[in-house]
Structure 1
Amino acid sequence: MAAVAAPQSALVLRPVLLLALVLVLVALSACTTPSTDPGADPDSDRARAGTPTDLSGCRPVDSDRVRGRAPAYLPGDAPLTTLPVSDAVCAAVWAPRGTGAFVPQGVAVRGRTAWLTGYDEGQPGALWCRVLRMDLRTGRLLAERARVEGSVGGAPTVGCRHGGGAALDQHGLWLAESSRLWLLDPDSLEVLRVWRLEDPVQGSFTVLAPDGRIGLGRFRPSRVHPGRAALDWFRLSDVLAPGVTALDPADAVSSRKVPSHAQGAVWARMGGRTGVWFARSHTRCGVLEGPGGVQRSFLPGAEGMAATSDGLWVVSESSARAFWSQGGRPLVPTLSRVDTSRVRDWPRPACDPAG
């Protein structure tokens, strides 16, 4: 019996149907096969990354993605304040629970660990320094020193007040306050050495340079130099020399004027510019100012900064209880990691800390 030839349209349709079936099976296999790519980890930054925006290549952080537990005095359902640079904030962490009186000022970062320096709210003259070591992944408190005390050259023991800047290097954790510079063991948080700062040198904030210098910043004009805030640079080798117990202007290798309301500083390369970048702020306003006077919008309440390969960690005091209780402050996490790869695209400041 002679075979009946299939219609030509059927001969064309069968391969198309077969190809469609193969594609469906491949898609299903891809959906059900476990991935070995570390970026597939739902907790990884790569997995959370969304479509790049004008400011960053990361997915902006919302209140649900801030690590750790928000302080009990903050409203539990309040969203983070939307900022001109919110799209550049890739990760954020609250300070550990149980530190509600803490006002953060400085930050140092190594790997997944952060050191926060600051003071406990209270009466002027009794703003005792506190140092926290915390896990950046969870916000968990790893260690703390509630009161930093030491002796300068064998003199009576003194306490650290209003701890300002923090920096970390091979020598230890540097903690600056207005009238003293402290060096702590980053693991035990024990005091290793203390130096007295002679006016007009101040330790409102501190910054380390890659060439072996430490900079101490003056937030306010001093009695000796009214009207001038400055950054004094010292060689670490001179500071750490045996028998040195005080730092005065004659010991500085150089000094430079700094912008008004500079609350923190970091040495970094951002936006094609390498050098010292300053955080200028009050609790409602933030400005990032870099080499050549370039200015960009920044986090309100920005204080200390720490540059890492993943971005810039910034500490804000805006949501600290001492300021939040006064009302009208933006809701900003204690620590934020900012992607600065597109800092050139950040908007110019919409506020002035000096205003």
Structure 2
Amino acid sequence: MITRTQFSIKKEVYRRILHLGTVSKADLMKDFPITSSSMTRLLDEMTNQGMIRISGLGSSTGGRKPILFQTNPFYRYILGLEISRIYSTMGLYDMHLNLLESKRWKMDQRMTPENLVESVGQEATQWLDEKNLTTKDILGMGVGAVGPLDRSRGIIKRAEFFQASGWSGVPIRELLEKRLNVPVRIDNGSNTALLAEHWAMRGSEIRHLLYVHAGIGIRAAMMSDGRLIRGAVDPEDAVGQMVIDTGGPRLEERGNYGAWEAFVSVRALEKRVQAQLKLGRGGMLRDRNPEELRFADLTEALSAGDAFMREQFIESAAYLGIGLANLINILHPECIVLGGPLVEAGELVYETAIEIAQKNLSQTQDYSPLFSRTKLQGNAVAAGGAFMLMNELEF
């Protein structure tokens, strides 16, 4: 049973209707310890406020057909924002997390925090004008950002590998609230992506979920019994420092030797290919200047069927699988969701990683986790930011 104050029960009832999609008062009474008359008053109040709406009548069990309720997707709107090192993405969502508008910015040398905030503000203003909305129609903005973060103060603390300057000690929540004039909440991007993926698979009733993002670095988030797992600190990319080969390399002359990210990351793959080109290898890229090669060049060669590049991506995928097996053997999630540029580069990366992970799982007869690609792909972090804000704010 859910025990909350009357005010909190209203929010919990809304969440329950949102999760179930369509529900009767009798269905809700199974989960909330309030009287039938109190539930009726609460549903009437929420209907009058426009939070929920009557969707029809259910099947009769002998008496009158029950009234069915749904949440109203147009009660308010939500902005979701991903702040990442390669691209940043913003979406406008309704209260069912349907994506209504989307905008992506390349995070080049010009995209300082101030320029990103101004770009976000201009785009959001344009969306509101086009849809005849005001800031009062916007519940707020949820942000998924690279870390490390100070969540309580809304600060990006020491972000690395941005091309533009100024991405350390950024009071991003304050900057966005001032520009947009709406409430803003912030969390690391892997957590918000996990929330979005869990929402996308809500019909499966999965409660234990692991999300791994392989990009510039490796980020991960875990949900246990439907709740995010948090530690004393929140460096989302620390999982990349898991040692998988004690005699292995070190990435960027920092971190652990043989760390996961030194084998499985966009930076690691770029450096490995560059080194191979200097030795005379490189397939269709062998005549290119190694120092000018970037991940987009590698994925293009992979898509063109280059055998050398296929070998390099398979090697990265195999190490991705080894690290996944380590995490799965410790955390035992029901489902593992894989995302990020490296996973999205080709089918063989995803399939190889899963194959290697499964070969190295502990042999437990009653445990067979599911694997899945991210369902929301490039919109997962922003969508999860919107979902996070919807859950955290009182409305």
TM-score, structure 1 normalization: 0.30
Indicate the structure (1 or 2) with the bigger Cα radius of gyration: 1
TM-score, structure 2 normalization: 0.28
